[in-house]
Chain A
């Protein structure tokens, strides 16, 4: 401790440092100048000066002392510390918040004039983009089942998932990140995969002329009648509800995780939540606009697309939940969807080609397609 040069020039520093544990982080006041975060590791004392002077210094007090602190002020920008000083840089984030709320001078004053700091802008943009991706994934599923099966049931699923999500967030708060998201991904992914493969199989058969175009509608009517007789809810479609519910709940949880992890890391959960809300609202508005054009897409083409989308998302979430890591993360969906679409279209082509070679099958196809 006697080697610390700062103790002479900066009153208060030595006194505060006396309470620093032998290993670990501590913050020591520099009087009116700010403070130092010290990290005692392996006998080396690392200093991290932040505060009203508006710069960060990460270095070794024992080697350099105060004269070098003056040099560092000119040469080293904020957050310019080497990677091994990650803990100290995180402390810097705390100081950022404190400086913002404290009405301080210098750099903080510049940020105040601009209205938002670079760190805040980076946080908001990161959360916005990440949440927009999750919201688009949920929207795709809701649009798919809503357009092809039942809007009312799909929206009921969305509402129920939103309520469940709100209850989870309210009940667990930051502990939400302890939920087993991978287990959820496996369950939701596996079920979506199963649904998707069934939809896709039927759509391929229809596309090849081996299945009647409207049999799904008949089946849906039968299920609706059965559901009505059991539950008394007229027109309730369990498929639409379940798929929309699971999709929105899973993606909503991911949005909540993003807000909590990004926000907590930068000590600004409020801003992260605001950016997430903006992303979700914009995506929902885009979905409302896209709903009308989607309704004009031919029925079987839409069912084909739904099959491809459910299978793709099921594959993505299922593998991710099982512990696999996709190359490129969420961007891998941009490869999964077109690849599956191409393979499915190739299957339609191969089946239709086989059918056209067999006159008897061709007749059957025509009859099947002409069925009401």
Chain B
């Protein structure tokens, strides 16, 4: 059971990773690209724009988290 749990966790880590919002955003962006391309619209630009937006959001979220952790560490070290 524990081996299965480790494997499932590994699969989740592999496919989704630490930031599930990014994974969902990538899936949505691919879907929008497919819809746009299917309707005959030039769709090559959709994914690059989505990638830049997802990267910015993900980095901003992670930076806030890192700052919050550092702040907690500092607070715990104060006498």
Q: How many A-B residue pairs have CB under 8 A?
A: 134
Q: Are A201 and B62 in contact (CB under 8 A)?
A: yes
Report if A252 contacts B (CB, 8 A): no
Known: A319-B46, A323-B34, A347-B56. Contact between A193 and B26, CB under 8 A?
yes
Known: A195-B17, A198-B22, A319-B46. Contact between A361 and B58, CB under 8 A?
no
Task: Say which residue of B46, B55, B66 sits within 8 Å of A197 (CB atoms).
Answer: B55
**Which residues of A are found within 8 Å of B44, using beta-carbon distances?**
319, 324-327, 332
Q: Are B55 and A190 in contact (CB under 8 A)?
A: no
The 0/1 profile, CB within 8 Å of A marked 1, for residues 1-33 of chain B is: 001001100100011111100110011011101
Q: Are B7 and A230 in contact (CB under 8 A)?
A: yes
Report if A40 contacts B (CB, 8 A): no
The 0/1 profile, CB within 8 Å of A marked 1, for residues 25-62 of chain B is: 01101110110111000111011100110111011001
Report if A238 contacts B (CB, 8 A): yes
From residue B15, how far is it (CB to closest CB) to chain A in Å?
Answer: 7
Closest B residue to A311 by beta carbon equals: B51
From residue A40, how far is it (CB to closest CB) to chain B in Å?
Answer: 36
Q: Are B19 and A201 in contact (CB under 8 A)?
A: yes
**Which residues of B are found within 8 Å of A321, using beta-carbon distances?**
30
Within 8 A of B (CB), among A197-226: 197-198, 200-202, 204-205, 208, 210-211, 223, 226
A208 and B67 CA atoms in complex are apart in Å by: 12
Task: Say which residue of B29, B31, B55 sits within 8 Å of A344 (CB atoms).
Answer: B55
Known: A201-B55, A239-B14. Contact between A190 and B22, CB under 8 A?
no
A336 and B33 CA atoms in complex are apart in Å by: 17
A321 and B38 CA atoms in complex are apart in Å by: 12
From residue A60, how far is it (CB to closest CB) to chain B in Å?
Answer: 38
Interface residues on A, range: 35 or more
From residue B56, how far is it (CB to closest CB) to chain A in Å?
Answer: 7
Closest A residue to B66 by beta carbon equals: A210
Task: Say which residue of B27, B59, B67, B73 sits within 8 Å of A347 (CB atoms).
Answer: B59
Closest B residue to A197 by beta carbon equals: B22
A200 and B54 CA atoms in complex are apart in Å by: 11
Known: A323-B34, A324-B44. Contact between A194 and B52, CB under 8 A?
no
From residue A112, how far is it (CB to closest CB) to chain B in Å?
Answer: 46
Report if A315 contacts B (CB, 8 A): yes
Within 8 A of B (CB), among A308-353: 311, 315, 318-319, 321-327, 332, 336, 339-340, 343-344, 347, 351
Residues of chain B having any CB pair with chain A under 8 Å? 3, 6-7, 10, 14-19, 22-23, 26-27, 29-31, 33-34, 36-38, 42-44, 46-48, 51-52, 54-56, 58-59, 62-63, 66-67, 70-71, 73-74
Kindly list 20 other residue pairs between chains A and B, CB separation below 8 angstroms, not including A208-B63, A230-B3: A190-B26, A194-B17, A197-B51, A197-B54, A198-B19, A205-B63, A211-B66, A311-B55, A315-B47, A318-B33, A319-B30, A319-B43, A322-B31, A325-B37, A325-B44, A336-B48, A361-B70, A364-B71, A364-B74, A367-B73
12 CB-based A-B contacts, threshold 8 Å: A191-B14, A194-B23, A197-B22, A198-B18, A238-B14, A315-B47, A323-B38, A324-B33, A340-B51, A351-B63, A364-B70, A368-B70
